[in-house]
């Protein structure tokens, strides 16, 4: 029996995790590939998809706020840790489906999953060996060289924290003009060009810090490649192809 491939969609709040999770699910459906969606955000509202496994069946953000007298931020932290307590139920629910792909929509705030032990525990418990990160970079935060550098640093931090194969995705890139999108992509392909554009920014502490951070990032140049995505399934096939390369040596899993 084939082992499931698990893809975690991770990114900052508003980066488009739920939207891209839904788009990838619809694309897989069109290719007759079996997949399910797991929602791990107990505070999610108005999701664009109907989750097959939903953490809200076990944990309610509003109930945690009410029962423990917590504000939204404190309740989110408490919920993040409670997710690990329901790891067995989540895994059993996942295993009840016969599917090739498990798409995991993680909590809206990046730190609640990537930088707490509960997130790592969930990944390990479900099956770390068959897991991969789709890290979303919000186009609005990466339009200038300094912003791009800060986003790459956050991506690297997530990668080192979780220690999984990772692809970087420029989400909502269709909202950028074509020239701006090409410019951002070129920064990921040519770090010298990024440095030049960074040096051409107005002098500031922020620019100086970005230049120093870029020297660190330069040591991990192979980890800053990004893939643009957007509406109408733009770029979604690149996500699929990266999964095939990582887990199947490039062998296509599409059914005959």
Residue 203 CB: number of other CB atoms within 10 A?
Answer: 8
Query: How much is the pLDDT for 253?
Result: 53
Beta strand 35-39 with 101-105: parallel, antiparallel or unpaired? parallel
> In the chain, what are the domain boundaries?
5-139+150-173+223-248
Question: What are the backbone dihedrals phi and psi of residue 9, each rounded to the nearest 5 degrees, phi first?
Answer: -90, 115
Token couple for 200: 């051409």
Q: What are phi and psi of 205, to 5 degrees?
A: -60, -40
Residue 98 CA to residue 166 CA, distance in Å, equals 25
What is the reported pLDDT for 157? 92
The Cα 109–Cα 244 span in angstroms is: 28
Q: Would you state the structure tokens that stand for residue 99, as one six-digit string? A: 């599917």
Closest CA to 37 of 49, 20, 45: 49
pLDDT given for residue 256 in this prediction:
44
pTM assigned to the model: 0.92
pLDDT < 50 regions, the chain:
1, 255-256
Point out which residues pair with 226 in neighbouring strands. Answer: 168
Q: Which two tokens stand for residue 105?
A: 């929509």
Write down the pLDDT at residue 53.
97
Superfamily for domain range 5-139+150-173+223-248: P-loop containing nucleotide triphosphate hydrolases (3.40.50.300)
DSSP assigned state of 142 = S
pLDDT at 125: 96
- Structure token digits, residue 167: 């692809």
13: part of which helix (H) or strand (E)?
none
CA–CA gap between residue 234 and residue 125 (Å, rounded): 33
In this structure, how many other beta carbons lie within 10 angstroms of the beta carbon of residue 97? 14
Distance (Å) of CA 52 to CA 39, 105, 161: 8, 11, 28
Rounded Cα–Cα distance for residues 217 and 54 (Å): 36
Give the total residue count for the chain. Answer: 256
Residue 82 CA to residue 117 CA, distance in Å, equals 11
| pLDDT for residue 164 | 95
């Amino acid at each position: 029996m084939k082992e499931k491939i698990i893809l975690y969609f991770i990114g900052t709040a508003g980066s488009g995790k739920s939207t891209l999770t839904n788009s990838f699910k619809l694309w897989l459906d069109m290719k007759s590939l079996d997949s399910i969606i797991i929602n791990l955000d107990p505070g999610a509202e108005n999701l664009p998809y109907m989750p097959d496994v939903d953490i809200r069946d076990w944990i309610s953000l509003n109930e945690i706020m009410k029962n423990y007298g917590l504000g939204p931020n404190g309740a989110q932290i408490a919920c993040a840790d409670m997710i690990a307590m329901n790891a067995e139920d989540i895994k059993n629910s996942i295993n009840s489906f016969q599917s090739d792909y498990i798409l995991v929509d993680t909590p809206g705030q990046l730190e609640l999953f990537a930088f707490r032990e509960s997130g790592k525990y969930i990944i390990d418990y479900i099956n770390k060996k068959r897991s991969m990160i789709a890290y979303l970079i919000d186009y609005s935060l990466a339009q200038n060289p300094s912003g791009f550098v800060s986003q790459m640093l956050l991506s690297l931090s997530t990668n080192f924290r979780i220690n999984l194969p990772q692809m970087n995705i420029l989400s909502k890139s269709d909202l950028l003009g074509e020239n701006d999108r090409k410019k951002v992509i070129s920064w990921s392909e040519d770090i010298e060009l990024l440095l030049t554009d960074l040096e051409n920014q107005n002098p500031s502490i922020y620019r100086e810090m970005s230049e120093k951070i870029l020297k660190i990032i330069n040591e991990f140049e192979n980890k800053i490649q990004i893939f643009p995505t957007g509406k109408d399934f733009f770029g979604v096939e690149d996500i699929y192809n990266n999964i095939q390369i990582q887990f199947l040596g490039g062998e296509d899993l599409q059914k005959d």
